Structure 1
């Protein structure tokens, strides 16, 4: 018999709201944002995960904002630059305990150069402030760190 077993027991409730918006501020500037408030808890539990416990990994508050500027004229026409901000509130890190993953926030930068009608080169600098954070966990013994500052390059070819 194994010791890694899972079973569905009890009941849970999740309620709240999730707002998303997109806006074209000018021909060149667009924004995309989101905010969520989620109250998720166990309503019928047992000794291991009692009623009132937070649901594993669910933040009460989270949000993001992305702003992009697209060049309208000249050699950079069709290219863009932008920045993104993400916030994730504290979350339960282990069911039925007080162990929590702390809130975190990250900032990313992006740029895309439209070399031709069918070729775009992308650059992303993620987590520019090298925020140390924990993305998820299953217990206080198994915690996955978030990605450190990193740089990615992409090439998109339209066929």
Structure 2
């Protein structure tokens, strides 16, 4: 097996209020020598392309100081779903996420919504008979204290 490629991460404070976090990965993973699998065939569950982008706006002054809101997406390309059947591929997908939070002194109250549109997607598989469905919409409420 051989896996080569690159990944790029981006973190930037565009303005004092707005920041961006993102990344992209290109992975070329293939069989190099095997008794059963065809040389050159892709590896199971590894997308060639994947990436994410998240933008967050946080109020810096006034009555709303400490309030933040953001949104973004996660994208995964198609990938091989069964090592023995090269025609069986899991489809690529794009998920949309959102968040909101409020910071007050050493407390942070948060709300995250992953997979906002409740997309059905296939995260991984072991073969054509076992395919794992990704998580549906998930809402998380949190409170964090810093000491």
Fold in common (TM above 0.5): yes
Unaligned runs of at least 5 residues, structure 2: none
Query: Could you list the per-position Cα deviations for residues 75-133 of structure 1 after superposition, in whole angstroms to 9, with x for gaps in the alignment?
Result: 3212210002111000111113222111000000100111x212111101111111110
The equivalent of 2:18 in structure 1 is 29
SS at match of 1:151: strand
| Equivalent-residue separation in structure 2 for 1:142 and 1:157 (angstroms) | 41
The equivalent of 1:6 in structure 2 is none
Matched ranges for 1:4-153 at <5 A: 12-47=1-36, 49-98=37-86, 99-114=88-103, 116-153=104-141
Using the TM superposition, give the Cα deviation of residue 43 of structure 1 relative to its aligned residue in structure 2, in angstroms.
0.8
Unaligned runs of at least 5 residues, structure 1: 1-11
SS at match of 1:14: strand
| Equivalent-residue separation in structure 2 for 1:70 and 1:23 (angstroms) | 14
| Equivalent-residue separation in structure 1 for 2:66 and 2:5 (angstroms) | 39
TM-score computed with the length of structure 1 as normaliser: 0.87
Give the structure with higher Rg (CA): 1
Using the TM superposition, give the Cα deviation of residue 73 of structure 1 relative to its aligned residue in structure 2, in angstroms.
1.1
| Equivalent-residue separation in structure 2 for 1:75 and 1:126 (angstroms) | 28
Deviation beyond 3 Å, 4+ runs, structure 1: none
TM-score computed with the length of structure 2 as normaliser: 0.94
| Equivalent-residue separation in structure 1 for 2:127 and 2:3 (angstroms) | 21
Instruction: Name the stretch that deviates more: 72-81 or 87-96.
Output: 72-81
| Equivalent-residue separation in structure 2 for 1:13 and 1:50 (angstroms) | 13
| Equivalent-residue separation in structure 1 for 2:35 and 2:118 (angstroms) | 40
| Equivalent-residue separation in structure 1 for 2:56 and 2:35 (angstroms) | 48
Query: Could you list the per-position Cα deviations for residues 20-53 of structure 1 after superposition, in whole angstroms to 9, with x for gaps in the alignment?
Result: 1111110000001111111110010122x22122
CA contact (8 A) 1:53 1:96 kept: no
